[in-house]
A and B are shown apart, each in its own frame.
Chain A
Amino acid sequence: MTHYAIATDLNRCVGCLACSVACKAMNNVPVGDYWNKTLRVGPNPKADGCGTWPDVEMYFLTVQCQHCKDPECVKVCPTGASHIADDGTVQIDKSKCIGCQFCAMSCPYGVRYLNTEERVVEKCTLCEQRIAQGELPACVAQCGGRARFFGDLDKGIDSFEAPWVVDVTEGDPSYDKTEHTRITLKECVQEYKQSDVHHLPDVGNDPSFVYILRDRDWQGEE
């Protein structure tokens, strides 16, 4: 089994919004709708500080379809338009969608919306057209902090990949080479403990996306 997902190192994420724009540029997402967003969480007062500045902490949280293992949206879809694809991602067959929007209601994260032109529901596809060709999702490829990593959950997040710098001194720094030069999460990020690994709130949907956050409180349930 394959189960593609994204792991984000929130200590490396600086809220630059490059992922959000990359998604727009790649996927023709309608203006005013989003497949991914970067929320600022905090600054919140630290547990044992003075209650405000400067004893505060914050992080940025990239939110999009979590490509859950047991997705609520698939459960409620009457037509099977929302389904789990062979690669473990949650996809929408737009030709089957009747636009009832119950999937949008059932999503714990609110990441689905009705495309008012096509009159079907849309959301992040994890750039299925790219990953099927061995490329990285646009939000991973263009991530400003190199904080996002894409891979197969079954192989563990340490194996997840981000793009990496092509050595021009080796010659042939072609587009193709730049597309396929990678660094793994383990090689790229600082060490983390199991207790640093978080998920968005799980209401039985078992979200696949992984967030690493060290040295501060993860806000909200998991």
Chain B
Amino acid sequence: MGKLNMTRRAFTKLAAATAAAAAVVAPAGAALAESSSATQSKAGETKRVRSCCRGCGKMECGVWVIVENGRAIRTEGDESAFHSMGNHCGKGQASLQAAYHPDRLYHPMKRTNARGEDDPGWVRISWDEAMSTIAEKLQETMDRYGGESIFGMSGTSRIWGMFAYGALGQLVGSPNMCIPWQVCKGPRFFATALNSMMQASWMETVGRPKVYTSWGTGPELSNYDDACRTVVDVAEKADTHIVVDPRMTNLGKEADIWLNLRPGTDGAMAMGWLNVLINNDLYDDLFAKKWTDAPFLVCNDVEPSGYEVYRFTSGKCQMKTRLLKESDLKEDGDPHKFMVWDNLNNRMTYFDADSGLWEGETWSKPTAGHEGMQEHLVPGVSQGWVPDPTPFDPAIDPALYGEFEVELKDGRKSKVKPVWEYFTARVAEYTPEKVSEITGVPAESIERAAKIHATRIDPSTGYGNGGVQYQLAIEHSCNAIAMCRAMDTYIGLSGNWDVPAGHRGGTQGEFIFKAGLGAVAPGIPNISAEEFNKTLGIEDYPLLGWWQGWADDASVWKAIETGDPYPVKAGWCSTGDFMCMSNSLQKWKAFPNLDFFVCEDLWKTPTAGMADILLPAQHWLETDCPRMSQGPSGAQGATCRAIEPPADTLHDIEIATMIYKYMGKQWGPDENKWPDRIENLDIMLNTGRQGDPITWEEYKEDFQKNGWKDAKVVAPDTWGTYRRYETGMMPLKAYGDKNALEEFAKPGFGTPTRKMEIWNTLIETFMPEDEEDFLPTYKEPPLSPISDPEMNEKYPFTATSGRRIPVYFHSEHRQLPWCREMWPAPRIEINPQDAARLGIEQGDWVWIENDNGKIRQVADLYHGIAPGTVNLEHQWWFPELDQADKGYDLCGCNCLVTTGKGYQDRISGTSYLRAYPVNIYKATAENSPFGNPVPCDHNGNEIIHDASDPRLKEWLPNYDVRDEA
């Protein structure tokens, strides 16, 4: 079998040997076609394995892995992957260098020097020794301090590194999982779970919105939920392209409207959009009345009460709301019956949250509707079916406005008003002029953008112009949940909730996809609500007791440092890192207080530098896993093993199952308590399966041959149909992935009231003191120039951070030559006017400091950022440094983060990573350690900061190291 694809060198030789003309003739024809299903390639053979890139934790980009003589030589975008449009970004392409990297971990290791020393003294050990030691230490800790004294850390949705998302907690009985979900996507999920449906923050960009709005994000670099190829195309073809961002972004350079707001004021902007929506009567009146709690009546004269509702993950709790229920009016009244005033019949009526029906309503699945009417869909993406909005039957007209007098069951009279009255009063505060004052964006621009977004370009579709791609920037200034609730409410009221190009959550396919293998032990229940109630941070953030998605990171690290409120003594990090949120310096200082710490990774990261045992993980090229679009891109496929894993490396699922076995805990179902990796895949594929059972081998073969599947086609009810609140097919994550029909046999949302809760009964229940947050609201970042002028006098620049670097995924890929040579050093973006004032020139190292610490980054003179604002890069560490901490403290901006109550999101505890004050000045020989403005290791050796650094070449693939390992 010939080589289909010549290498450049082979071609050069060929061209030299033959006439150039002869070379041109040979086409890539059928004679050269070859099987792409097998992963083993014999000598001289080229194989192509269809797969799903995991070079980052985001978009499921379809790729081809080109394997020659058993080695992956290249990865390319798969043009038949409609959801990613053949995208394969720089980090994805470069990620194969990790598989063959000379510094990769190939064996379990144990520390022989004390924690804190520059050289941990790593010594190779067997898996048995590693697992026995871990099992023993974890058991010891559990016995002495309780399971909650063990904490977990994880990375982001890959197919490895997910152990701390749940399974570790199940193993030891601990709720104390520090996962970056808390600062990325989690707050949006938390907020939308409170408001309507978990993940409703996710917008179906592949559905091609008529107005494309990118808010606090840059998928063109991050491929966050949507591929670069998709967003570039969508932005270009949209009638209007709106960007909300303090900085000019890479794609934002093309925006029609740029709302260049002050960092951290997104929440005010969202309230402003709601104001424009409502003041201009652009909202969907029927949706407001029928599918939100807007017409429910707030009664300030009753004791909050309710009924038993589900916590999000485990157990139940008692709702306590002042929304008027039948039980407030009658002695034997039903607390599920929420009262509304019917303007049509001039009487009180109710919605029954138990039956899911309005008074007198009978329900059957709607049949009237039409195909989606989207333009520019790419081949492979189908339109889907959009049910028409159903009217009230029997006809009623729930009042949104007005004040009504009711007689309570104890005979008192009370004046009640619909939630909508309170909501619109709140929203009325945020006029475009007021929002302009807060955000710095001209009022006319705010009004224009919101009007363009909310005014339907083609009313015949029956739905809005598309969603708002709001992403993680809005989560980082202590107003995360309120902002996301405002956005979700805006999306609902503007006609963009679960409609084409609107917000519809994660893709539903033929099986239930767990974001990572190893995230949850499939055969046993999660920990109990009682165990979750021990979550660290629950005192400061009581709703964590409902959400149960994470422990507050800062609170866990405070407990590690101080032992308060109880000791945390051991930890397991599954390819996570401590630099992603809260304050890195505080954590590093607290680390030695741990008795035992395990790290599972590809590398000796700074986090690994504090571990007692290192476990070698597998690379995505070496792993098998079914895969579904996390977001609404609607594709179902797989990551397929393309090369053999080296040495002692194991996949996360194997490591997870193994430690369960060593600790005598059941992982899988009763009939197979410790399944192997393929059996684990079979379990995943057949969990919640729509259609016939399937094995991984069958699934994989089909995928190799037929490629990605359109989830709208394979899951017509749960994904191919829009407005699933009408059909009862919305996935309700709170109910074990059941949909509403399965759970209630009725339509609606997954909230306690089954409505989009503009007035939020869960916040009301768990945080009764915080009345302001019952409704969407905005609060200034706690250290903004307005909140804390004194601090800002000391530190006159506002720092934002987190803009994406095209070749890195957070802390990842710094040791890959193809990445590091494209972006060798961290950069601080400074407006050239500020730079000139401070005598800073492009390429100068700059000190950035505040009360928490100081770091250095290289000046990038950038007119795309406001004077007085700087943009910092996060999670830098330096694999080239031969010391345990790998220079995490030299450049990473999370050394500057303030933590503690008041300096985190008040509901989710999400870290304050953007919009805080710093001072900057030029780094010089005089003010820098070792007399060198360039950051150095403990011995004065510089970090790599230029592509010409010879150390980069030492990181090229080394097949010998891998083979000999």
**A contacts B directly in the complex (CB < 8 Å)?**
yes
Q: How far is the CA of A190 from the CA of B239 in the complex (A)?
A: 12
Q: How far is the CA of A57 from the CA of B253 in the complex (A)?
A: 7
- Number of A interface residues at 8 Å Cβ cutoff, please give it: 70
Complex partner residue of B232 from A26, A147, A166, A169, CB under 8 angstroms: A147
Query: Judging by beta carbons under 8 Å apart, are A25 and B78 in contact?
Result: no
Q: List 18 A-B contacts (CB under 8 A).
A: A30-B953, A31-B952, A32-B821, A32-B947, A43-B253, A53-B248, A53-B866, A54-B258, A86-B21, A93-B16, A129-B7, A134-B27, A144-B90, A164-B86, A165-B82, A173-B706, A174-B36, A178-B79
Complex partner residue of A20 from B23, B236, B822, CB under 8 angstroms: B822
Known: A133-B26, A175-B48. Is A12-B80 also a contact (CB below 8 A)?
no
Query: Judging by beta carbons under 8 Å apart, are A176 and B33 in contact?
Result: yes
Known: A43-B864, A129-B10. Is A165-B232 also a contact (CB below 8 A)?
no
Q: Is B378 an interface residue (CB 8 A)?
A: yes
Q: How far is the CA of A163 from the CA of B77 in the complex (A)?
A: 10
Complex partner residue of B863 from A17, A53, A144, CB under 8 angstroms: A53
Q: Which residues of A contact B48 (CB under 8 A)?
A: 175
Binding site for B on A (CB under 8 A): 11-12, 14-18, 20-22, 24-28, 30-32, 42-45, 52-54, 56-60, 85-87, 93-95, 125, 127-130, 132-135, 141-142, 144-147, 163-171, 173-179, 181, 189-190
Q: Which residues of A contact B304 (CB under 8 A)?
A: none
Q: Is B250 an interface residue (CB 8 A)?
A: yes
Query: Judging by beta carbons under 8 Å apart, are A168 and B82 in contact?
Result: yes
Known: A52-B833, A142-B93. Is A16-B8 also a contact (CB below 8 A)?
no
Q: Is B512 an interface residue (CB 8 A)?
A: no
Complex partner residue of A16 from B7, B9, B15, B221, CB under 8 angstroms: B221
Q: How far is the CA of A159 from the CA of B86 in the complex (A)?
A: 21
Q: Which residues of B contact A177 (CB under 8 A)?
A: 80
Measured between C-beta atoms, what is the minimum distance from A101 to chain B in Å? 17
Q: How far is the CA of A174 from the CA of B704 in the complex (A)?
A: 9
Q: Which residues of A contact B236 (CB under 8 A)?
A: 11-12, 189-190
Complex partner residue of A21 from B15, B258, B822, B831, CB under 8 angstroms: B822
Q: Which residues of A contact B248 (CB under 8 A)?
A: 43, 53-54, 56, 58
Query: Judging by beta carbons under 8 Å apart, are B76 and A141 in contact?
Result: yes
Cβ-closest chain A residue relative to B864? A43
Complex partner residue of B380 from A25, A93, A145, A165, CB under 8 angstroms: A165
Query: Judging by beta carbons under 8 Å apart, are B233 and A42 in contact?
Result: no
Measured between C-beta atoms, what is the minimum distance from A170 to chain B in Å? 8
Query: Judging by beta carbons under 8 Å apart, are B79 and A25 in contact?
Result: no
Measured between C-beta atoms, what is the minimum distance from B907 to chain A in Å? 32
Q: How far is the CA of A144 from the CA of B15 in the complex (A)?
A: 31
Q: Which residues of B contact A59 (CB under 8 A)?
A: 253
When A and B form their complex, which 4 residue pairs have the shortest distance between CB atoms, in order from nearest?
Answer: A129-B11, A173-B80, A167-B379, A21-B90
Cβ-closest chain A residue relative to B866? A53
Q: Is the interface of A mostly helix, strand, loop or mixed?
A: loop
Q: How far is the CA of A147 from the CA of B233 in the complex (A)?
A: 10
Complex partner residue of B8 from A27, A30, A85, A93, CB under 8 angstroms: A27
Query: Judging by beta carbons under 8 Å apart, are A28 and B221 in contact?
Result: no
Measured between C-beta atoms, what is the minimum distance from B757 to chain A in Å? 36
Complex partner residue of A128 from B11, B33, B89, B864, CB under 8 angstroms: B11
Q: Is B796 an interface residue (CB 8 A)?
A: no
Known: A129-B8, A176-B33. Is A163-B79 also a contact (CB below 8 A)?
yes
Q: Which residues of B contact A125 (CB under 8 A)?
A: 8
Query: Judging by beta carbons under 8 Å apart, are B86 and A163 in contact?
Result: yes
Q: Which residues of A contact B806 (CB under 8 A)?
A: 15-18
Q: How far is the CA of A22 from the CA of B20 in the complex (A)?
A: 25
Cβ-closest chain B residue relative to A54? B260
Q: Which residues of B contact A58 (CB under 8 A)?
A: 248, 253, 863-864
Q: Which residues of B contact A86 (CB under 8 A)?
A: 20-21, 24
Q: How far is the CA of A168 from the CA of B380 in the complex (A)?
A: 6
Q: How far is the CA of A210 from the CA of B516 in the complex (A)?
A: 44
> Besides the contacts A16-B228, A53-B864, what 9 more A-B pairs have beta carbons closer than 8 Å?
A16-B89, A21-B93, A21-B822, A45-B863, A52-B863, A127-B8, A128-B8, A163-B77, A176-B28
Binding site for A on B (CB under 8 A): 5-12, 15-16, 20-21, 23-24, 26-28, 30, 33, 36, 48, 64, 74-80, 82, 85-91, 93-94, 96, 220-221, 228-229, 232-233, 236, 248, 250-251, 253-254, 258, 260, 378-380, 706-710, 806-807, 817-819, 821-823, 831-833, 862-867, 947-949, 952-953, 956
Q: Which residues of A contact B90 (CB under 8 A)?
A: 16-18, 20-22, 144
Query: Judging by beta carbons under 8 Å apart, are A18 and B88 in contact?
Result: yes
Query: Judging by beta carbons under 8 Å apart, are A95 and B85 in contact?
Result: no
Q: How far is the CA of A12 from the CA of B231 in the complex (A)?
A: 10
Pick from A30, A31, A42, A93 the residue with the most CB of B within 10 Å.
Answer: A31
Complex partner residue of B77 from A11, A132, A141, A190, CB under 8 angstroms: A141
Q: How far is the CA of A21 from the CA of B90 in the complex (A)?
A: 5
Query: Judging by beta carbons under 8 Å apart, are A31 and B229 in contact?
Result: no
Q: How far is the CA of A31 from the CA of B817 in the complex (A)?
A: 7
Measured between C-beta atoms, what is the minimum distance from A56 to chain B in Å? 4
Query: Judging by beta carbons under 8 Å apart, are B818 and A18 in contact?
Result: no
Known: A31-B952, A141-B77. Is A15-B250 also a contact (CB below 8 A)?
yes
Q: Which residues of A contact B710 (CB under 8 A)?
A: 168-169
Q: Which residues of A contact B949 (CB under 8 A)?
A: 32
Complex partner residue of A132 from B11, B33, B76, B948, CB under 8 angstroms: B11
Q: How far is the CA of A53 from the CA of B641 in the complex (A)?
A: 48
Q: How far is the CA of A11 from the CA of B947 in the complex (A)?
A: 28
Cβ-closest chain A residue relative to B817? A31
Query: Judging by beta carbons under 8 Å apart, are A43 and B87 in contact?
Result: no
Query: Judging by beta carbons under 8 Å apart, are B20 and A12 in contact?
Result: no
Q: How far is the CA of A129 from the CA of B15 in the complex (A)?
A: 9
Q: How far is the CA of A28 from the CA of B9 in the complex (A)?
A: 9
Cβ-closest chain A residue relative to B378? A165
Query: Judging by beta carbons under 8 Å apart, are A135 and B822 in contact?
Result: no
Query: Judging by beta carbons under 8 Å apart, are A25 and B818 in contact?
Result: yes
Measured between C-beta atoms, what is the minimum distance from B832 to chain A in Å? 7
Query: Judging by beta carbons under 8 Å apart, are B8 and A17 in contact?
Result: no
Cβ-closest chain A residue relative to B90? A21
Q: How far is the CA of A145 from the CA of B233 in the complex (A)?
A: 7
Pick from B5, B96, B819, B948 the residue with the most CB of A within 10 Å.
Answer: B5
Q: Which residues of A contact B93 (CB under 8 A)?
A: 18, 21-22, 25, 142
Q: How far is the CA of A57 from the CA of B255 in the complex (A)?
A: 11
Q: How far is the CA of A158 from the CA of B887 in the complex (A)?
A: 50
Q: How far is the CA of A176 from the CA of B251 in the complex (A)?
A: 32
Measured between C-beta atoms, what is the minimum distance from A120 to chain B in Å? 11
Pick from B33, B236, B251 the residue with the most CB of A within 10 Å.
Answer: B236
Complex partner residue of B821 from A31, A145, A146, CB under 8 angstroms: A31
Known: A18-B88, A54-B260. Is A31-B953 also a contact (CB below 8 A)?
yes
Q: Which residues of B contact A173 (CB under 8 A)?
A: 78, 80, 706-707
Q: How far is the CA of A132 from the CA of B6 in the complex (A)?
A: 10
Complex partner residue of A43 from B78, B254, B862, CB under 8 angstroms: B862
